[in-house]
Amino acid sequence: MKLTFLGATGTVTGSKYLLEHAGRKTLVDCGLFQGLKELRLRNWESLPVDPASIDAVLLTHAHIDHSGYIPLLVKRGFKGKIYCSGATFDLCTILLPDSGYLQEAEADRANRHGYSKHKPALPLYTQKDAKTSLKRFKVVDFDKTQDLGGGLTFTLTRSGHILGSAFVRVSDGQTSILFSGDLGRADDPVMKPPVHMQRADYLVLESTYGDRLHKDGNPLDKIGMIIKTTVARGGSVIIPAFAVGRTQSILYYIYELRKAGAIPAAVSIFLDSPMAINATQFLQKHKNEHRLAEKLCADVCQVAQYVHTAEESKALDHGNGMPAVIISASGMATGGRVLHHLKHFIGDARNTILFTGYQAAGTRGARLVHGEGEIRIHGRMWPVLAQVEVLHNISAHADYGEILEWLGHFQEPPRKTFITHGEPEAASSLKMKIEDHLGWQAVVPEYLQEVEL
């Protein structure tokens, strides 16, 4: 087999790995590049491999940095099947069309307000393109070996990151390679822990938190404190949260806080993201994917008032002025309804903007967390007067300690471990930790690097 790194090198976005064997080409993950402009521009370039020549796509999970390029791949000629778990497919039915909608909306806004150098600005792909791509999906079961043809097989195993997330193991009968996708956490209160894997000849391992440990302490305490102090000064809490995974965790914590009387009973909780609403309801459909008992799951799903329409969303910004908690996508403030809330609330020092996890370089979230005094939204600069907070200990990604613990269950070292899906410092740090603690051979590949397995 030959492995080519088409993404997630030097960055946490754009995950794409090309496996070639016996004339067949398999793409593992098919994500969009996000964040820095130089990365986003790669989405517009021709893929280094002809999409029509790819035989199959294997998805680790549904997040856009792992799945968001699929509509473009299909649009540009891919005719094969896209294999994934049932929950991953369900999530892609909402994530991919939403991504297409956001691309169209941003192009339309750029054309109306004239802040793009392209005349006219065009979307990378449309909602229609995304819905068309869903026809190529094929759902497979966890832990059942599947035939890819040409002597290749693959198996999905639960990785504990979000609903449907999986490790992908590919084998040609003699050599195996395991793709971690995003590695979940053993003590996540919502998701079941990642399965301990025992062997693989080669390993492609994520390193989002490869240089950090999640902070100790119960997230309930900080979330409760932020809500109480913000409401006490007459402000609202705006939570940009990933629609899939992080939103459901936030709802769980708010449910626990409200049940314990740790936040004001009168404060309204709004979930303003149709996509997040649908993803939350998938918790009840995929009961075997998480830890929540049936009644608790239903209670968590009902703790917030669902905001469905654009008119209802606008009313939150121009309503009665009462303090509220508004959870809205996207998690790094790169698009969606949360941008309208930020424009309205970010200039008032009574309010708090609460980020709930990793912010990729170049995103609005990263700039706000790093203390920038003004932020560009929809072609205009907005002063940042609101308090900006970030939660570091509710991430759905394992930190380096949790990664090393997971690796410790391998019965023998892989021949080589490829460290990907991390900023350069994080990937380099995890490489050294794996070498020092485990004695394994680890490398940090470069963009478009090819490796013979």
Residue 337: CATH number of its domain = 3.40.50.10890
Whether residue 316 sits in one domain with residue 277: yes
Whether residue 376 sits in one domain with residue 302: yes
Whether residue 158 sits in one domain with residue 90: yes
Residue 447 structural domain: 2-212+396-452
Which of 390, 405, 440 terminates a domain? The answer is 390
Whether residue 254 sits in one domain with residue 182: no
Number of domains within the chain:
2
Whether residue 255 sits in one domain with residue 206: no
Which of 373, 390, 407 terminates a domain? The answer is 390
Whether residue 255 sits in one domain with residue 118: no
Which of 355, 373, 390 terminates a domain? The answer is 390
Whether residue 252 sits in one domain with residue 193: no
Whether residue 109 sits in one domain with residue 41: yes
Whether residue 408 sits in one domain with residue 284: no
Q: For position 181, which CATH number holds?
A: 3.60.15.10
Nearest Cα to Cα of residue 164 among 184, 144, 134, 147: 184
Whether residue 409 sits in one domain with residue 354: no
Whether residue 335 sits in one domain with residue 275: yes
Instruction: List per-residue pLDDT tens for the chain, 453 residues long.
Output: 999 999 999 999 999 999 999 999 999 999 999 888 899 999 999 999 999 999 999 999 999 999 999 999 999 999 999 999 999 999 999 999 989 998 998 888 888 877 767 778 899 999 999 999 999 999 999 999 999 999 999 999 999 999 999 999 999 999 999 999 999 999 999 999 999 999 999 999 999 999 999 987 789 999 999 999 999 999 999 999 988 888 999 999 999 999 999 999 999 999 998 889 999 999 999 999 999 999 999 999 999 999 999 999 999 998 777 999 999 988 889 888 999 999 999 999 999 999 998 788 888 999 999 999 999 998 899 999 999 999 888 888 999 999 999 999 999 999 999 999 999 999 999 999 999 999 999 999 999 999 999
Whether residue 322 sits in one domain with residue 246: yes
